[in-house]
């Protein structure tokens, strides 16, 4: 039987389907669940109680194209977590099933918003705004 593109299409479709299935399995296997009874966030390897954090810090209001949001300044959280020379690091914000890395300048403008444990960066694209945040990794 001679080789033709008609024979190749089912093989390509199967490969694409297998890639999609394996990607879905990987995302679900690495998902970090949010504890809704006692929400915590890990900052620089240390776990912090969300309710306690919101009593320790003064709030900051940021204005975005979606309105105003009030929360804890992210830069103050990083300083509180004893990160030495915070301007020399990058910060990977890890949500339930998504993560983004930002620099110190973004952290200085961003807030941690209590509703749905969100981070909001008024000067960055909405793809950097995440909810169900479980960790801020310092690199």
What DSSP string describes 35-78? -SSS-EEEETTEEEEHHHHHHHS--EEEEETTEEEEEEEHHHHH
pLDDT of residue 3: 62
- DSSP label of 88: G
pLDDT tens digits, residue range 65-98? 999 999 999 999 999 999 999 999 999 999 988 8
Architecture of domain 40-138: Alpha-Beta Complex (3.90)
What's the rounded mean pLDDT across residues 21-44? 69
- 28 pLDDT tier (thresholds 50, 70, 90): low
Beta strand 118-120 with 67-73 is unpaired
pLDDT of residue 10: 81
Higher-confidence position of 66 and 38: 66
What's the rounded mean pLDDT across residues 34-54? 82
- The answer to whether 48 and 117 are in contact (CB under 8 A) is no
- The full set of domain ranges for the chain reads 1-30, 40-138
Residue bearing tokens 């830069």: 75
Mean pLDDT of the chain: 87
pLDDT of residue 32: 52
């Amino acid at each position: 039987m001679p080789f033709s593109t008609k024979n190749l299409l089912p093989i390509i479709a199967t490969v694409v389907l297998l890639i999609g299935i394996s990607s879905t399995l990987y995302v679900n296997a690495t998902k970090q669940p949010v504890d809704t009874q006692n929400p915590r966030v890990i900052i620089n390897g240390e776990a912090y109680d969300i309710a306690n954090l919101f009593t320790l810090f003064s709030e900051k209001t940021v204005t975005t194209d979606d309105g105003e949001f009030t929360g804890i300044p992210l830069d103050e959280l990083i300083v509180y977590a004893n990160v030495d020379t915070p301007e020399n690091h990058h910060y990977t914000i890890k949500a339930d099933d998504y993560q983004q890395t930002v620099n110190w300048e973004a952290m200085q403008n961003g807030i941690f918003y209590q509703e749905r444990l969100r981070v909001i960066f008024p000067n960055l694209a909405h793809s950097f705004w995440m909810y169900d945040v479980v960790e801020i990794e310092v690199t």
